Amino acid sequence: MNDREPRLKTKRLYIQPMSTEEISAYKASADNEWLRDRISEREKSCADDQSQRIWYAPWKVCLRDGDDFIGVIAFNGPQEDNTLEVLFDTFEAYQGHGYTSEALRRAVRWAFNCPEVFFVEASATDHCHAAKKVLEKLEFKPDGVSAEGMRYVKSKSEPWVAVYMCFGMAIGCAIGGAYGNTGVGLSLGICAGMAVGTAIDTHMKKSRARQREARKEVEI
């Protein structure tokens, strides 16, 4: 890890990209060849594209109290068509304590802070009921089927209504003050702001829905 890479914190956890040495150690500890191969692919991608390293590197999930390494979260490469795919795993000894949902919630919130990311996808195999439960708890919605199993997606929420309502309040107060009736100006400003914000929000949701459908058509 370098100083420019994030270190995310929750009440009980911290989450950060693994260093080169930590990725090697994680690969050496893997208990099956399939996992070692996947880690090797990420290791190579990190080395080949340092500028996008955080999107290829596994992120370690650790307890803030004791520093125990309890699981892994990883993005499946940089965003594509405004979409990121996230993978997650909490080691068996630490399951059942809510750590997975706590870590994933924080990682997704961080990803949505990237302006080009509008959707985060995740997959859960048919027999992995715990993963489905976590995704549903975090308000991921079913969105078809991927190679790994059931696909879920979460969309970014943008506060257009609140932003324009505040803007309308400010304008309304100014106009109302100028004409000696701040109350009326404020009411009109709130209504206008809500109308504009709702219209923009509706337009953006429809645009994103079209993006999702176009992406799925390409995948098919």
Q: pLDDT at residue 101 above 80?
A: yes
With 80 as the cut, is the pLDDT of residue 195 above it?
Answer: no
pLDDT score at 188: 61
Residue 219 has pLDDT above 60, yes or no: no
Domains, the chain, ordered by start = 8-155 (3.40.630.30), 160-219 (no CATH)
Average pLDDT across the chain, whole number: 81
pTM of the predicted model over 0.85: no
CA dist 145 and 83 (Å) reads 16
Tokens of 133: 């439960």
Q: What is the biggest distance separating any 2 CA atoms in the chain, rounded to whole angstroms? A: 76
Residue 77 has pLDDT above 70, yes or no: yes
Q: Which of 215, 220, 217 is nearest to 85 (CA)?
A: 215
Whether the per-residue pLDDT at 55 is higher than 50: the answer is yes
Lowest mean pLDDT among 17-21, 69-73, 157-161, 178-182: 157-161
Q: How many CB atoms lie within 10 A of CB 164?
A: 22
Share of the chain above pLDDT 70, in %: 69
pLDDT band at 129 (very low <50, low <70, confident <90, very high): confident
Contact 204, 160 (CB under 8 A): yes
Per the listing, tokens 């892994």 go with 72
| pLDDT at residue 181 in the model | 63
The pLDDT value recorded for residue 220 is 46
